[in-house]
Structure 1
Amino acid sequence: MKTSIATVCLSGSLAEKLHAAAGAGFDGVEIFEPDLIAAPESPEEIRALAERLGLTLDLYQPMRDVEGVDESAFRDVLRRAEAKFSIMRRLGIDVVLCCSNVGTATIDDDGVSASQLRRLGELAQGYGIRIAFEALAWGRFVDDYRRAWRIVQLADHPAVGVCLDSFHILSRGHDPAAIEQIPGDKIFFLQLADAPALSMDVLSWSRHHRLFPGEGSFDLTAFLAHVVRAGYAGPVSLEVFNDTFRQTAVAQTAVHARRSLRWLEDAVARSLGAEAPVGYAELPSTGSPRSVDFVEIKAEDTSSIEELLATVGFTPRGKHRTKPVTLWTAGEARVVLNEQHARGLSPHLAAIGFAVSDAVALTARAGELGTPFAYRRTYAGEQDLAGAVAPDGTEIFWSSADGGAEPAWAGEFEHGASLRESPIVAVDHVSLGQPWQVIDEAILFFSSVLELPTASSTEVASPLGLVQSRVIQSPDGSIRIPLNVSPPILAGRPAALPQHVAFACDDIVALARAARSRGLEPLRIPQNYYDDLAARFDLDPELLGTLRELDLVYDRDADGEYLHFYTATVGDLFFEFVERSGCYDGFGAGNAPVRLSAQRAGSRAADIVRA
């Protein structure tokens, strides 16, 4: 699959964009005209740079309002076109994108549009250039690719074909199946973009909220399959207008974009099976991880976390034989405390380990997706865990599950206590705070590398604004990872939206009582919450009294119940303990605003004490 990306997707100068696209592994680029206009380099210099980088220049765009105009206006179209064609020849580009007219004075007559495209094609042919006509979703009259194709058929010129853009087609709800009726050699160019499901005017949606494939709600796998079946063999290009991507580091965004196309290539290859054309290759696949193998907390001094783990019943299983790292376990929940290379760091969640069916295949998959690998020094006789760095900086490790009671790496910890019984059985979920600029990349990272799809999305009120939460979850529910984006006012203050690890329990009341007897001070829940709880749910008075006494919070839906409590925040981290009954699959989202307010109150009280 030949890949391309529009320079409008990336930040920086045109030269910087070309370097980033080449570095990420793209085969070519579309030149967005404003990028060329602002560039200090001549068209010849841009062409030479692309050649040195191994990039083809695949498309020049856009030319606007070229059809459906009166004769006087069309003479100006030809004048503009001739100037553009001259520049394209200097660049060595042979396809130009021409958008359907959006002007109010447009003539609604397919014959007029076809005649003018034919004349434009005749001019273009003299320069060795082809016209790719695109139906804009907000075109004055031509806003449907099927009508654009009818006009191209009427134009009946070898230099006039169509450009298909997934956003313009899918945002309007048009059925892409008719793409297969267009001869592949008349599809002159293909542009792809995903997008979230939004209710807003299509122009604003397009200009600010497009996403890379795999990050939105469009079925791009089916869309591209239609294009492939039509016989299109040209570049598969990304054209993504997004305010965030135009601000983030150009090299990182380019890698992110290339990963999205590799993920899509795999999805289309699997969808088409034997029909998949040469060049569409599947990725190695292991399926979603089986379970959370461990969570790692890193700090210069982890003693505060050790004390907290001891109060809730974790067992210290010893110190690593070569590193300043300790292991604590309860049931199948394993917490690694790491003080290596942690000078000046307060406690925070540094890594998550997963048990997978085939670690070697997952490593190969991550490599093909251009994922940055995590590095840990490993000595002779120690298990070498493969890993990658998630967009937020969290390290993700994996190892093959062998069905044993404990993973092999746990044997590297020595002189620990015997495992004691505990109501804690496993890790229930891991909640990661995300910088606003990486949330879309994080969604793609988990879905493409780890094959963990997005299960739900919600917004939670905090004292300082809305927290957006997107849940990554394996089909069987064994892996749950809420990704939370804090309000802009909290940007740069990671402790304001701390990470947390939730542990599943089989008797949360017993756990809460035992932890208190060992000195645990849980997060205090206001009494107003329990008054409201009594009004919302018809709870047994004895249960309600227990909830009040132990600072437990409660939720219920048609599938089951959810009891949980929180610890105070230590550094940038807190723990949650949960008990699910029935088939409850949520996270007690209605309780999150109470928790966030209680955490903020605790943080402000601590600030006053320190002052």
Structure 2
Amino acid sequence: MRRDGSAAGEWVVFQAADAFRLFTGIDPDPDAERMFAHLAEVSVSDPEEGMRKSIATVSLSGPLTGKLPAAADAGFDGVEIFEADLLSSPPAPEEIRARAADLGLNIDLFQPFRDFEAVPSDILGRNLRRAEHKFAVMERLGADLLLVCSSVSPDTIADDGLAAEQLRLLAGRAAEHGIRVAYEALAWGRHVDDYRHAWRIVELADHPALGVCLDSFHILSRGSDPAGIEEIPAEKIFFLQLADAPYLSMDVLQWSRHYRCFPGQGAFDVAGLVGHVLRAGYRGPLSLEVFNDIFRQADAGRTARDAMRSLIALEESVSTRLGPEAAGLVPPPAPVVPTGFAFAELATPDTGRLSGLLTALGFARTGGHPTKPVELWEQDQARILLNTGDPDSPTGPALSAIGLETPDPAGSVKRAESLLAPVLPRRRGPREAPLDAIAAPDGTALFFCRTARPDHPSWTDDFTEVPSDPVPSAGITHIDHVALTQPWHYFDEASLFYRSVLGLRPDESLELADPYGLLRSRAVAGPDGAVRVALNVAYVGARPGAPQIPWQHVALGSRDIVATARRLRAAGDLLLPIPVNYYDDLEARHDLGAERHRTLRELGLLYDRDDHGEFLHLYTRTTGHVFFEIVQRVGDYRGYGAVNAPVRLAAQHTGSD
């Protein structure tokens, strides 16, 4: 549909008026005719362009004048204007309307109008006076849809007939201004807290300018069955608001006000709900309304892009479920799930701090790049790059890039671009292999690689072989996983990024005890476990008065971790010391036999098990911001040894104090 209100707008008017005649058996009255005519200005979805996408200004940080360009730059078609944003904005409603139009944004909704229905007559009079003022503001703003929340006022009466009567009166007043009213059941509404109840009142009111607003948080947080949405006529679903959230045991109002997130970042089945709404025939905007303390402090442009990414991924999820029924949805290119790690790149001022450790780990320096200050270190299928391109960097060694094996590098980039992942510009020599990279939310570069394959140039061919002494293998075979510490306000963004852009599957979020607070962690992995990434974020600083230490690490898989550990012990003081108290507790938790327990104590190995197998691991001391973990998975163990993380964190803090 076009925004200019031409053929698309005319079709909307025809459909709305025709539906009114069909369901009522009468012609629309003048108020309804004005309301239908106003619909010609409303932007609706073009099946070839996907469903329209909108975002509530409350979801973004900063002033309204900054939120509008952030939404437009991210590709949104419209916005919901949150009343508090307008009230605190210096520009008049007419100026906001003009600014939105200049940016190509439709004002899809004005919200919220609270505590209106089912009240005594004296209060009703005051409420109608208040509504008339809001209608005048909306006309100046160019908004034609008002969100009315179910009342939480102690003055409201538990009387559906009275609520319907008063909402019908409100809708009639609204229609005189070319405005419609969308009634929404708040999950904490005093008498109306369920969308089915809200619909019964709207149905009883029976006014063409009155419909329902469906909100995924209010529906799913209460555990309501969204299948009933399909019983609501499409023309009565005036608006759809979307938000996800983690499952929390707390007051629903506080849950809503502080912990909503974008679809795909929480635990709700938002895609399932949207599927029901589309099967009901809704073709209006997919709009995000997210109250979140972190988003309200983050950069508005970045949050808006993350929000748009969530809607693109949501369209894909819904399209997959609905198949041919997914009218109006345009999914992005299919994900190209990485099949392994090609390399991990460490940025370091010099190679001296890491070359000895890598040699002790069994790595050999096998190549140097002819045009870049990068060394290649290899052992079996595990590859580490040392990049000394910034010798003045004060941060010391840090994990700066990850190479991901992919069956289709070009397809991986196309997928990433469609989900708004920034493609990194790259200087490439005339004979160097193509190697595209994107930036992860924390700034880590992700390279898409085809290593030593006949059908694609290999990045390893760019390195010139260098003479070096043979290094006996330490039994390390591959990179098992990488752990990246995220800035605290990027954690949810990172979780969605790796799931949507790379097609990795997220595990449950964990909170791990740290001597100075809590560490939040969430792993994402491919279906076969060939690629695993642990995303961590510390809630508090590493210690009072000191900056947070953003530790990152590379976990290397070993075929015989006991032999690897003995070699590292013999090489010197390289391993993180583990307290003897850990092993006393381990013996209490697991009966592994006296000899095995002695070996674990002697070598500083940690142990875990799940229903699928066992896990043995150890850690090197931290160099700069980086340390190595050596792991061996026995059977089909699927975790990361999270039960041992508090012991590791305490030992690392002790070593850094």
SS in 1 for 2:417: helix
Deviation of 1:555 after TM superposition, in Å, equals: 2.0
Alignment match, 2:605: 552
Deviation of 1:404 after TM superposition, in Å, equals: 6.6
1:526 maps to amino acid:
P
Alignment match, 1:314: 363
Which residue, out of 415, 423, 426, partners 1:365? 415
Deviation of 1:55 after TM superposition, in Å, equals: 0.5
Deviation of 1:104 after TM superposition, in Å, equals: 2.0
Alignment match, 1:254: 304
Deviation of 1:557 after TM superposition, in Å, equals: 3.3
Q: How far apart in 1 are the matches of 2:155 and 2:189?
A: 12
1:398 maps to 2:451: no
Q: How far apart in 1 are the matches of 2:222 and 2:453?
A: 49
1:61 maps to 2:61: no
Q: How far apart in 2 are the matches of 1:153 and 1:506?
A: 67
Q: Deviations over 1:39-73 (max 9, x none)?
A: 10001100110111111011000000111111111
Alignment match, 1:331: 380
Deviation of 1:400 after TM superposition, in Å, equals: 4.0
Which residue, out of 178, 181, 203, partners 2:231? 181
Q: How far apart in 1 are the matches of 2:434 and 2:573?
A: 36
Alignment match, 1:11: 61
Q: Deviations over 1:560-579 (max 9, x none)?
A: 22111111000001001011
1:523, 1:598 within 8 Å by CA — same for their partners in 2? yes
Alignment match, 2:572: 519
SS in 2 for 1:257: helix
Q: Deviations over 1:197-237 (max 9, x none)?
A: 11111100000000001100111111111111111111111
Q: How far apart in 2 are the matches of 1:268 and 1:63?
A: 31
Alignment match, 1:607: none
The TM-score, its normalising length taken from structure 2, stands at 0.89
1:291 maps to 2:340: yes
SS in 2 for 1:478: coil
**Structure 2 stretches lacking a partner, 5+ long:** 1-50
2:451, 2:459 within 8 Å by CA — same for their partners in 1? no
Q: How far apart in 1 are the matches of 2:408 and 2:313?
A: 19
Q: How far apart in 2 are the matches of 1:450 and 1:198?
A: 28
Listed as ranges, the matches of 1:90-129 within 5 Å are 90-129=140-179
- Pick which of 189-198 and 405-414 moved more: 405-414
Listed as ranges, the matches of 1:196-595 within 5 Å are 196-278=246-328, 280-344=329-393, 345-400=395-450, 408-416=458-466, 417=468, 421-490=473-542, 496-519=549-572, 521-595=574-648
Which residue, out of 135, 144, 164, partners 1:85? 135
- Pick which of 143-152 and 545-554 moved more: 545-554
Q: How far apart in 2 are the matches of 1:106 and 1:400?
A: 65
1:286, 1:357 within 8 Å by CA — same for their partners in 2? no
Deviation of 1:494 after TM superposition, in Å, equals: 6.9
2:250 maps to amino acid:
M
Q: How far apart in 1 are the matches of 2:308 and 2:396?
A: 35
Alignment match, 1:609: none
SS in 1 for 2:507: strand
1:294 maps to amino acid:
F
2:362, 2:471 within 8 Å by CA — same for their partners in 1? no
SS in 2 for 1:45: helix
2:366, 2:378 within 8 Å by CA — same for their partners in 1? yes
1:329 maps to amino acid:
E
Q: Deviations over 1:456-485 (max 9, x none)?
A: 322211111111111111111111111111
2:359, 2:471 within 8 Å by CA — same for their partners in 1? no
Q: How far apart in 2 are the matches of 1:195 and 1:354?
A: 30
Deviation of 1:258 after TM superposition, in Å, equals: 0.9
Q: How far apart in 2 are the matches of 1:312 and 1:39?
A: 60
Moved over 6 A (4+): 404-407, 491-495
Q: Deviations over 1:535-585 (max 9, x none)?
A: 222232222222222222222334322111111000001001011112221
1:502 maps to amino acid:
A
Alignment match, 1:608: none
Q: How far apart in 1 are the matches of 2:360 and 2:259?
A: 47
Alignment match, 2:189: 139
SS in 2 for 1:489: coil
Q: How far apart in 2 are the matches of 1:498 and 1:511?
A: 23
Alignment match, 1:74: 124
**1:534/1:406 Cα in 2 relative to 1: closer, same or farther (>3 Å)?**
farther
Q: How far apart in 2 are the matches of 1:470 and 1:584?
A: 17
1:310 maps to amino acid:
T
1:94, 1:129 within 8 Å by CA — same for their partners in 2? yes
Deviation of 1:489 after TM superposition, in Å, equals: 2.9
The TM-score, its normalising length taken from structure 1, stands at 0.96
1:311, 1:520 within 8 Å by CA — same for their partners in 2? no
Deviation of 1:421 after TM superposition, in Å, equals: 4.0
Which residue, out of 83, 95, 102, partners 1:52? 102
- Pick which of 372-381 and 243-252 moved more: 372-381
Deviation of 1:516 after TM superposition, in Å, equals: 3.0
- Pick which of 366-375 and 489-498 moved more: 489-498
Alignment match, 1:170: 220
Q: How far apart in 1 are the matches of 2:161 and 2:456?
A: 73
2:508 maps to amino acid:
S
Identity among equivalent positions (%) equals 53
SS in 2 for 1:227: helix
Q: How far apart in 1 are the matches of 2:490 and 2:539?
A: 14
SS in 2 for 1:123: helix
1:95 maps to amino acid:
L
SS in 2 for 1:203: helix
Q: Deviations over 1:12-64 (max 9, x none)?
A: 11110001001111001000001000110001100110111111011000000
Deviation of 1:534 after TM superposition, in Å, equals: 2.3
Deviation of 1:401 after TM superposition, in Å, equals: 6.1
**Structure 1 stretches lacking a partner, 5+ long:** 605-611
SS in 1 for 2:389: coil
**1:419/1:227 Cα in 2 relative to 1: closer, same or farther (>3 Å)?**
farther
1:192 maps to amino acid:
L
RMSD across aligned positions (CA): 1.8
Deviation of 1:4 after TM superposition, in Å, equals: 0.5
- Pick which of 240-249 and 513-522 moved more: 513-522
Q: How far apart in 2 are the matches of 1:532 and 1:406?
A: 51
Q: How far apart in 2 are the matches of 1:232 and 1:442?
A: 31
**1:160/1:401 Cα in 2 relative to 1: closer, same or farther (>3 Å)?**
farther
SS in 1 for 2:502: coil
SS in 1 for 2:513: strand
Q: How far apart in 2 are the matches of 1:54 and 1:72?
A: 42
2:148, 2:181 within 8 Å by CA — same for their partners in 1? yes
Q: Deviations over 1:66-86 (max 9, x none)?
A: 111111111111100100000
